[in-house]
Structures are given as structure tokens and as C-alpha cells.
Amino acid sequence: MKRLLIIGASVLQVPAILKAKEMGLTVAVADFNPQAVGIPLADEYFNVSTIDEEGVFEAAKAFRADGIMTLATDMPMRALAHACQKLGLTGISYDTALRSTDKAAMIQAFAAADVAHPWFQIARGGKLEAPPPAYPLITKPTDNSGSRGVMLVHGPEELEQALIYSSENGRGGDVMVEEYMQGPEVSVEIMADEGRIHVLQITDKLTTGAPHFVEMGHSQPSRLPANTQAAIRDLATQAVQAVGIDNGPAHVEIIVTKDGPKMVELGARMGGDCITSHLVPLSTGIDMVGSTIRCALGLPMELQPTLQKGSAIRFIPTDQGTIRDIRGAEEARQISGVKEITFTKQIGDKAGEIGSSTDRVGYVIAQGKNAEEAVAICEKAMHLITITVE
């Protein structure tokens, strides 16, 4: 019986824990929080931070892990790569983990490999080496995710405050300052298998727009023109190769500008927001969680699509205030095509301005014959849900 260590035991990791148990594996989880929801679902628990590189290595060694993986989280990738490298397990190199989790190192790798990317400069200590060539531009911490610390800057009078905001939302304080790219935004869901890059799906995105660009919806397959999708696939493949991802998943974010697709950033992991755990299987039939587990264990992956359908997720909008009542969810769950309705905030919680992905209150996931139908089903379900705030 193979032994799998999953880094993290939060709700994000639950699909991996359940899938691994379904596959008959012995499963351990590592998390600093002894109350994490995934712990009771696993066979063993290690009380260690997901970003503690030596701690994760020691846990993997003690567990005698045959494979190590995580879902939809960036910073644990360094600890994961460190442990895999020291134990000779399948995974990305530590250098690749660094390039995949530090936006400065990442965009420098894109530049070195001639991968299409925006103009950029790194602000260290809150200062830029030279004034930006043009506005508007985007600031964001070099070492965070989930739209945390992202700010649109319209002119030089806003830049200093934006640098402070982005720096305070990072770990090390460095800030990426880059060209504000405009156009349709997509993500590309990828599996790498010993250097072979498999593009599984292209996901269309819906965001809040300026100033924070928090994602409020995703749908598959992309509805962009075929020639644009071909260019997106090529760019995503180049980007994954530029940072060195040769085994495992990748989640690549791209904006289609007037000059063609350009890179935003990527992660050497599955996409969050249920994109790869739910939407990819619903639209293609590919079990991306299972494939990521199999890759971590050094087993063959199953990457052939068996479906051609549409899937979508929409995050439920609400007014700002304290949540006093949630109604209509059970009725919405009865709509044909609705696959899941989940609330991430409950009665008594505060619903505030959407400044990052953690501020969203819940979501609807649906499957349809195509992306348009899946989105329409989500919207029909949300129309039945009433969230009262005061």
C-alpha cells in the first residue's frame, strides 16, 4: 500500500485526502493547525507548518512517504520540493519551486527565455530604481497569491501608497510593479509528465476589475477564438518550460492583450477556486486530483479526456455588513446541472469589500452542455439565493 503525504489539511486539501483514500492509499497530512478540517480524514497527522522545509522533510521521512503533494497552494511548494529532492521522490526541483513562488524570479525566467510578458520592475525597500515609463500599472507582492496585495495605480501620485499596500500584503516586502495589461484573462490547466507538457483545459475568468482584480467566476472550455486559444496553449507551454516544471500540475494565468497573449504568472500546482478539482473533471472527465496523486507516487497518469461538456463556478455576490440570514440554497441545489453550493462565510460573519479571494462568501458550481449553459445555470441558482446583511 503506497504512502502519500499531503502538505496542508485545510479545506483546500480535502479533495486530495478523499481521493487518496478512495485510491486505497495510506495518507498523512502536515499542518500547523491541529484543528484543520482534513486531519480526521487522514491516517496520520504531523503538526508542522506547511512552509517549514526541514519540518516537512522530517515528517516525510518519519512517515516513509512514497510521494508528497499539495493542492492549490503556492508557498508549500518549496517545502515539498525540498523534501522530494532529499528523499529522491517525484517532484519539481527546489530551484523550480523558487521560480514558481517568487514573482520576481518567475518573470526574470520568462524574460530570459523570451516568453511574452509585461514590462516590469521590482521595488525593494519600497523604492523603484527608475520611474515607470507609463501608467496605469499594477503593484503586487512578489510572494503572495489569491489577489492579496494587488493594486491598480493610475498615476505617480498613487504609487507610494500602492507600494506600501502591496508590501504589507507580502512576506518579504518586495513588490512587483508591472504594465497594466488589458484584455480577456484566462488560466491554463496543465500536467507535466517527465518533461512532456499536456494542456488539459483553458479557463475563462471573471474578475471584480480594478483596483484588486479578485476572481469572481471561471468557466470551461474557453470561448475565445480557436487561433487565440492556440497562441495561449503555446505561451503556457513556453512559460512552464521556462521555470522548469517537468513533473506535476501547473496553473498558468494569461491576459490576451491587443499585442497577443502575455503571461501574468503561474503556479507549480493545481489551480484553486475549484478549477482543477471540480471544473476540469466536469468539462473533460479528467481526474486532475487523481493524476496529481499518481504523479507524486511515480505512477502513470490518465490524461485522456472522456467528456466534452461545459462547467462553471460563480462566487455569490452580497452587500457589505454582518450576515444575518441565508435563504434559497436548498431550492437552488435542486436546479438541474447544479453540482455544488458552498458558503465560506456563515450567519454572524462579516461580508466586506472584496479585496482578496478570502473575502468571498460562497459559490455555485454547475455543469452544462457547454460553457454558456453552465454559466447560465450558476446565475439561475444565485438568483434564488438571498443573503441578508445589516
2: cell is 503506497
The Cα diameter of the chain in Å comes to: 61
Asked if 205 contacts 185 with a C-beta cutoff of 8 angstroms, the reply is yes
Query: The C-alpha cell of 159 is what?
Result: 504609487
Residues 315, 386: contact at Cβ < 8 Å? Answer: no
Show the DSSP H helices in the chain as ranges.
Answer: 14-22, 53-63, 76-87, 94-101, 103-112, 156-168, 226-243, 280-284, 288-296, 329-333, 371-384
Exposure of 241 by Cβ count < 10 A (0-12 exposed, 13-18 middle, 19+ buried)?
A: middle
pTM of the model: 0.91
CB 185 within 8 A of CB 264: yes
Helical residues (DSSP H) of 75-225, grouped into ranges: 76-87, 94-101, 103-112, 156-168
Distance CA 358, CA 214 (A): 10
**Alpha-carbon span 148 to 154, nearest angstrom:** 19
Domains of the chain: 3-89 (3.40.50.20), 119-179 (3.30.1490.20), 182-296 (3.30.470.20), 310-389 (3.30.470.20)
> Which cell numbers hold the place of 246?
517537468
Q: In what order do the strands lie in the sheet with 260-267?
A: 260-267, 248-257, 185-193, 196-207, 215-220, 310-315, 362-368, 338-343
d(CA 344, CA 361): 5
Tell me the pairing of strands 350-351 and 386-389: unpaired
Residue of 247, 257, 195 whose CA lies nearest to 224: 257
Q: What is the CA radius of gyration of the chain?
A: 20
Cis previous bond, 281, omega within 30: no
> Distance between CA atoms of 201 and 191, rounded to whole angstroms?
10
Q: Which of 14, 16, 39, 15 is nearest to 295 (CA)?
A: 16
User: How far, in Å, CA of 29 to CA of 60, rounded?
Assistant: 10
**How does pLDDT run along the chain (390 residues), one tens digit per residue?**
899 999 999 988 999 999 999 999 999 999 999 999 999 999 999 999 999 999 999 999 999 999 999 998 888 999 999 999 999 999 999 999 999 999 999 999 999 999 999 999 999 988 898 999 999 999 999 887 767 888 999 999 999 999 999 999 888 889 999 999 999 999 999 999 999 999 999 999 998 887 778 889 999 999 999 999 999 999 999 999 999 999 999 999 999 999 999 999 999 999 989 999 999 999 999 999 999 999 999 999 999 999 999 999 999 989 999 999 999 999 999 999 999 999 999 999 999 888 878 889 999 999 999 999 999 999 999 999 999 999
**What's the Cα-to-Cα distance from 88 to each of 58, 66, 179, rounded to whole Å?**
14, 10, 40
Strand 44-46 and strand 26-30: pairing? parallel
Vertex 388: Cα angle to 385 and 390 (nearest 5): 160
Contact assessment for residue 357 and residue 72, using Cβ atoms and an 8 Å cutoff: no
Residue 118 φ then ψ, to 5°: -75, 160
CB 340 within 8 A of CB 365: yes
Q: Tell me what pLDDT residue 341 has.
A: 97
Helix ranges (H only) for 169-300 are 226-243, 280-284, 288-296
Residue 146 is predicted with a pLDDT of 62
pLDDT of residue 12: 87
